[in-house]
Amino acid sequence: MSTETLVQKKRNGYRLDGFSHEEVGDDHLYTGLETPMKPNAFVLSDEDKKEKISALFSEIMDVMGLDLTDDSLKGTPDRVAKMYIEEIFSGLNPANKPKVALFDNKYQYNQMLVEKDITFYSNCEHHFVPIIGKAHVAYISSGKVIGLSKLNRIVQYYAKRPQVQERLTNQIANELKDILQTEDVAVIIDAKHLCVSSRGIKDDTSATVTSYYGGQFNHPSKINELLNYINNK
């Protein structure tokens, strides 16, 4: 069954129990713009979460038959827990959202600003394996500008959570629109999914491209201008 049909069933309130987890995952289904979170997601402190993850990951390693008394393995559960909370999934916690200051566009620069080739590492929410890619971000000032490094930080914040590339693209775009108070925002993401290259179909050559064009970027001339900037090495 196609992704479109699955999504439509979800929107119409149908349950998806008749489909295997593999079918839903491989169809790249996602159910909304917001990352799915429990209402009580932040009741536990980060330290409590790391303690619980370490204990649970120890169980996973034990079930797989690994010897947790080995000097190389006995610290792995703690390392994984710390990595999950403090690094690769730190974007789940709103407390880690980058603080962005706006500045007046004193130079009266009214053309597009493009920050290209922003390298990011995310994780597929269907298999928890890496997504590795580059994001290209552009906007046209409505009177305010932000520091270039903040564009990178916004990309990294939304990438550091279990993700679907389509959602990641839209989350970055919506955040920029909210901050800059303009619809004139564009986001293009070009990424390799290890859930495709290292498992399943094992296609190591394909990449996935997603895009968001808002406001003036919906005009073909602006899209072509943006693509020329991105492709200009």
- Partnered with residue 54 across adjacent β-strands are none
Q: Do 84 and 10 have their domain in common? A: no
Confidence (pTM) = 0.86
Say whether both 110 and 190 belong to one domain: yes
Q: Is residue 96 part of a domain?
A: no
Q: Is residue 94 part of a domain?
A: no
Domain count, the chain: 3
Residue 97 lies in a domain: no
Regarding whether 204 and 132 lie in a shared domain, the answer is yes
The reported pLDDT for the residue numbered 1 is 37
> Both 178 and 110 in a single domain?
yes
The pLDDT tens digits for 47-70 are 999 999 999 999 999 999 999 999
Domain that holds residue 116: 102-231
| pLDDT above 60 (res 39) | yes
Residue 96 φ then ψ, to 5°: -95, 5
Q: What is the pLDDT of residue 195?
A: 78
Asked whether residue 26 falls in the same domain as residue 51, the answer is no
Give per-residue pLDDT as tens, 178-233.
Answer: 999 999 999 999 999 987 766 666 667 788 999 999 999 999 999 999 999 999 87
**Gap between the Cα atoms of 115 and 113, Å rounded:** 7
**pLDDT at residue 30 tops 60:** no
Is 22 in the same domain as 77? Answer: no
Q: Which residues are catalytic?
A: 124-127, 165, 193, 195
Q: Are residues 109 and 196 in the same domain?
A: yes
Q: Is residue 73 domain-resident?
A: yes
Residue 95 lies in a domain: no
Same domain (yes/no): 9, 106: no
Enter the tokens of residue 65. Answer: 């038959």
Q: What are phi and psi of 134, to 5 degrees?
A: -130, 140
Q: Nearest CA to 124 among 76, 193, 171?
A: 193
Amino acid 70: pLDDT: 98
In this structure, is residue 120 part of a structural domain? yes
Angle at 130 between CA 6 and CA 48, to 5 degrees: 95
